[in-house]
């Protein structure tokens, strides 16, 4: 066919055009992102080191305990953590308090129970099997008390937050060795350390605070942490940044209490599968050795 | 496979059973003696990988269903109950959620393999169409399943997708109300979605049965695209050859599946789905699961809602017409120099649509989504019919055995070709 070289030339032109298109999408994506990025848009969260990052990462028990202290003394006055039970605090791969410690933590909370035989609701001290009671009886009560704001439940907050990494970084986030699963805790830590006075001319309604990591840079939560606000028993620095990291680690544990177990089982499964694949490879080669292909 | 069975029962029980229900000879013919082309590459293990994934999804799904509650006030908490309180529940849920993604990854590789090697061509049209039906049922199952955790993305994806049906003229709104069991996504919707999500995999299983049946009638295609001419020279028996090759393929695929499930289980998910569904708060960007993104991009590329919905469904269904759109008599892209290049352009365009589907439909993104969506249909409707007539194919080998031969090697030695 004489058409062939002509078609080939046409094809080359076409594919060059297409390659150009693809390239320009890739190049223009960050461009148009920065175009719309005025001062109103939030900053990309900072990255922190986490003991639980990576395939071999595990929770740092001391850090999770410190984070629990921050939660109890600061966050718990407004934020519920309803999926978490007191007994979870004693389980391995977390703060892992002793049985007595868990029981006494539970007993320090008042749990609404009932109705009793007289038909009345009553309050009793918490038991390890109870879940953390919410600070407000309803969303309406929370909003009424907090000037209209409703603090989100913290049970899975560390997994419910994140940020877009953009092309091509998001592709690397799944790769062994580079895997990045900690967007949520990085975001929360950044947010807690992201308060400052608003820049000149920034329109900030009353009851809102300036935070450069919050969407729109406005947040209803007043800066919750201040240096020295929570007393640590050990020599860990009592700074906002340290508190922010510790509470984030605690929230990650609360959101994913079986992370340690999952990763160690996973390592076993992966090792087994690798060996099994090796055996399968040799068996397959042996089976196929009389077939030439 | 056709013709009388080569199976001879060895035990008395087998002979007794064989006279009453010839299931042993059926299994023998389908999975032991079945001749498979000896030149199949590892892309042909994806059929076995997909069968494995279907079973894995059914097994994990049935156990998850024992602990899940399809009620709007309880669904989200019951998923967290699975994650926290059910023994190995977190691993089960992550295996099921990532299993869906692995299932789709495998099916896309399987489909692209079929496109590259022309596996849809005569006489495999019915086999191919059954495959497209399987893909559609898979998409429905995946969509229904994504609703069940009752997170923000669950709720809003269900709202957006069911809302598509309201684009149908006259009866659209009635159909949407009928599908939802009300005027918006609510408890009746969740209940029926759960029931259907449990039902569809078994329908899928049945269609897969037909797919495998059709495969065993026509025989497998192979990288050379040449039909089997001589069973002795061109094929090897399914067992042990294909069984072990498939097992290795499944094993290597499982390494990826295990990595995703145990080490980056939320990578393919969306953080918003860890926020309980709230009909009063719309997420800033509603994004479907990654495996729907190319089709979602096509939907949004078209400014008219009804036409967008038509384009979406057309994009999913148009591969079913491939046996007639592709006019080339040559099956394998190996011997089609032009098609080979356009195939990779098509792959790039599909991936590009996937990327654009995750981006907001505005500005440059929308422009490229339109260009790529147009190219998607251009590939099927214009390029393939013309290419088959105009392209000058390279010489096709006479047989599978000949395709394996290197120049200079003799075709002696019991008909075996040394490569």
Interfacial B residues in 201-240 facing A (CB < 8 Å): 236, 240
pLDDT digits (tens, 9 = 90+) for B340-369: 999 999 999 999 999 999 999 999 999 999
Cβ–Cβ gap B348/A22 under 8 Å: yes
Return all residues near B381 (Cβ < 8 A) that are at least 6 apart.
Answer: B318, B325
pLDDT of A208 higher than 60: yes
For position B418, what pLDDT does the model report? 40
Instruction: Give the pLDDT band of residue B405 (cuts 50, 70, 90).
Output: confident
Q: Is the Cβ pair B271, A184 closer than 8 Å?
A: yes
Gap from B337 CA to chain A (nearest CA, Å) = 10
DSSP string covering B203-249, please?
Answer: HHHHHHHHHHHHHHHH----TT-PPP--HHHHEEEIIIIIHHHHHHH
Above 80 in pLDDT, residue B12? yes
What residues of chain A lie within 8 A of the CB of B272, using their CB?
A: 160
B81, B224, B238, B263, best to mutate vs chain A, most A CBs in 10 Å: B263
The verdict on a CB contact (< 8 Å) between A284 and B355 is no
Closest-CA residue of chain B to A12: B341
B83: chain A residues, CB-CB within 8 Å: 256, 258
Other C-beta atoms closer than 10 Å to the C-beta of B119 total: 25
The 10 Å CB-count burial string (b at 16+, else e) for A144-163 is: eebeeeebebbbbbbbbbbb
Nearest to A28 among B39, B241, B364 (CB): B364
Tell me the percentage of chain B whose pLDDT exceeds 70: 96
B254 Cβ under 8 Å from any chain A Cβ: yes
- Examine the pLDDT at A10 and tell me if it is beyond 80: no
Q: Is residue A88 over pLDDT 90?
A: yes
- Asked whether the predicted pLDDT for residue A14 surpasses 90, the reply is no
With contacts defined as CB-CB under 8 Å, which chain A residues touch B265? 262
Task: Assess whether pLDDT exceeds 70 at residue B90.
Answer: yes
pLDDT band at A147 (very low <50, low <70, confident <90, very high): confident
Q: Residue B297: its chain A contacts at CB < 8 A?
A: none
Give the pLDDT confidence score for residue A167 in this predicted structure. 87
Model pLDDT for residues B159-209, shown as the tens digit of each residue: 999 999 999 999 999 999 999 999 999 999 999 999 999 999 999 999 999
How many whole angstroms separate alpha carbon B74 and alpha carbon B194? Answer: 14
Q: Does B326 touch chain A (CB under 8 A)?
A: no
**Minimal CA separation from B108 to chain A, in Å:** 18
Cβ-Cβ pairs closer than 8 A, A with B, add up to 139
Partners of B293 on chain A (C-beta within 8 Å) are none
pTM score, whole prediction: 0.92
- Write the burial class of residue A265 (CB in 10 Å: 0-12 exposed, 13-18 middle, 19+ buried): middle
Q: Measured between beta carbons, which residues in chain B are less than 8 angstroms from residue A5?
A: none
Q: Cα separation of B252 and B201, whole Å?
A: 24
What are the pLDDT digits (tens) for A213-230? Answer: 999 999 999 999 999 999
pLDDT at B392 over 80: yes
User: Is the CB of A287 less than 8 angstroms away from the CB of B244?
Assistant: yes
CA distance, residue A228 to nearest chain B CA (Å): 32
Confidence grade of residue A25 (pLDDT, cut at 50, 70, 90): very low
**Is A274 a residue whose pLDDT tops 70?**
yes
Q: Is the peptide bond before B123 cis (omega within 30 degrees of 0)?
A: yes
pLDDT at residue A30 is higher than 50: no
Q: What confidence tens digit (pLDDT) does each residue in A165-175 have?
A: 988 999 999 99
Nearest chain A Cα distance for residue B93, angstroms: 12
Give the whole-angstrom CA distance, residue B51 versus residue B44. Answer: 12
Contact A262 B244 (CB under 8 A): no
Does residue B414 have a pLDDT over 80?
Answer: no
B262–A173: do the CB atoms touch at under 8 Å?
no
Checking if the pLDDT of A236 tops 80, the result is yes
pLDDT value at B409 more than 80: no
Which residue out of A156, A170, A271, A290 would a mutagenesis test of the B interface target, given it has the greatest number of B Cβ atoms within 10 Å?
Answer: A156
Flag if B262 and A262 touch (Cβ within 8 Å): yes
Where b means 16+ CB within 10 Å and e means fewer, A197-216 reads: ebeeeeeeeeebbbbbbbee
Give me the mean pLDDT over the B58-71 stretch: 98
Higher pLDDT, B171 or B415: B171
What ipTM does this complex have? 0.92
pLDDT score, position B295 = 98
Q: What is the DSSP string of B116-143?
A: HTTTTSTT-HHHHHHHHHHHHHHHHHHH
């Amino acid at each position: 066919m004489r058409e062939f070289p002509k078609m080939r030339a046409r094809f080359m032109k076409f594919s060059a055009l297409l390659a150009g298109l693809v390239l320009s999408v890739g190049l223009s994506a960050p461009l148009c992102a920065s175009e719309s990025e005025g001062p109103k848009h939030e900053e990309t969260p900072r990255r922190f080191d986490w003991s639980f990052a990576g395939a071999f990462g595990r929770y740092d028990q001391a850090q999770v305990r410190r984070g629990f202290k921050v939660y109890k003394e600061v966050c718990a006055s407004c934020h519920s953590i309803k999926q978490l039970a007191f007994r979870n605090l004693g389980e391995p791969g977390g703060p892992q308090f002793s049985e007595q410690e868990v029981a006494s933590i539970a007993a320090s909370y008042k749990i609404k129970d009932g109705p009793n035989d007289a038909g009345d609701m009553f309050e009793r001290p918490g038991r390890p099997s109870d879940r953390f009671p919410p600070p407000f009886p309803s969303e309406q009560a929370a909003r009424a008390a907090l000037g209209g704001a409703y603090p989100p439940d913290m049970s899975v907050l560390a997994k419910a937050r994140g940020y877009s990494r953009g092309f091509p970084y998001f592709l690397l986030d799944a790769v062994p060795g580079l895997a990045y699963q900690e967007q949520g805790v990085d975001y929360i830590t950044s947010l807690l350390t992201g308060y400052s006075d608003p820049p000149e001319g920034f329109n900030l309604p009353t009851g809102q605070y300036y935070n450069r990591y919050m969407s729109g840079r406005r947040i209803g939560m007043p800066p919750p942490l201040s240096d020295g606000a929570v007393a640590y028993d050990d020599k860990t620095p009592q700074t906002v940044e340290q508190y922010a990291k510790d509470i984030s680690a605690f929230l990650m544990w609360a959101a994913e209490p079986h992370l340690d177990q999952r990763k160690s089982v996973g390592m076993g499964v992966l090792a087994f599968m690798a060996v099994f694949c090796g055996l399968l490879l040799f068996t397959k080669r042996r089976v196929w050795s009389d077939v030439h292909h | 496979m056709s013709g009388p069975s080569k199976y001879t029962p060895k035990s008395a029980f087998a002979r007794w059973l064989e006279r009453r229900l010839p299931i042993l000879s059926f299994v023998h013919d389908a999975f032991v003696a079945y001749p498979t082309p000896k030149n199949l590459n590892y892309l042909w293990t994806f059929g076995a990988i997909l069968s494995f994934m279907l079973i894995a999804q059914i097994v994990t799904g049935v156990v998850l269903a024992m602990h899940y509650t399809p009620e709007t006030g309880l669904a989200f908490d019951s998923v967290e109950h699975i994650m926290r309180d059910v023994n190995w529940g977190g691993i089960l849920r992550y295996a099921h959620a990532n299993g869906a993604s692995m299932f789709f990854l495998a099916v896309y590789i399987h489909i692209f393999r079929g496109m590259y090697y022309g596996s849809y061509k005569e006489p495999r049209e019915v086999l191919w169409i059954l495959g497209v039906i399987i893909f559609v049922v898979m998409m429905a199952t995946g969509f229904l399943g994504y609703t069940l955790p009752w997170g923000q993305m669950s709720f809003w994806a269900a709202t957006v997708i069911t809302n598509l049906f309201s684009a149908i003229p006259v009866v659209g709104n009635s159909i949407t109300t009928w599908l939802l069991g009300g005027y918006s996504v609510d408890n009746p919707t969740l209940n029926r979605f759960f029931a259907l999500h449990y039902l569809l995999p078994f329908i899928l299983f049945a269609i897969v049965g037909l797919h495998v049946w059709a495969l065993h009638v026509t025989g497998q295609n192979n990288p050379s695209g040449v039909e089997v001419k001589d069973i002795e020279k061109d094929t090897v028996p399914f067992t042990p050859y294909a069984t072990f090759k498939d097992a290795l393929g499944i094993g290597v695929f499982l390494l990826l599946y295990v990595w995703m499930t145990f080490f980056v289980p939320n990578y393919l998910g969306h953080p918003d789905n860890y926020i309980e569904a709230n009909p009063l708060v719309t997420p800033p960007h509603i994004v479907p699961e990654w495996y729907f993104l190319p089709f979602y991009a096509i939907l949004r590329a078209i400014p008219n809602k009804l036409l967008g919905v038509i384009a979406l469904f057309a994009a999913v269904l148009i591969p079913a017409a491939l046996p007639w759109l592709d006019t080339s008599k040559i099956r394998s892209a190996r011997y089609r120099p032009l098609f080979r290049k356009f195939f990779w352009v098509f792959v790039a365009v599909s991936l590009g649509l996937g990327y654009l589907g995750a981006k907001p439909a505005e500005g440059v993104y929308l422009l490229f989504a339109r260009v790529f969506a147009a190219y998607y249909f251009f590939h099927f409707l214009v390029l393939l019919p013309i290419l088959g007539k105009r392209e000058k194919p390279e010489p096709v080998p006479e047989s599978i055995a000949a395709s394996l031969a290197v120049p200079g090697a003799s075709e002696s030695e019991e008909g075996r070709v040394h490569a």
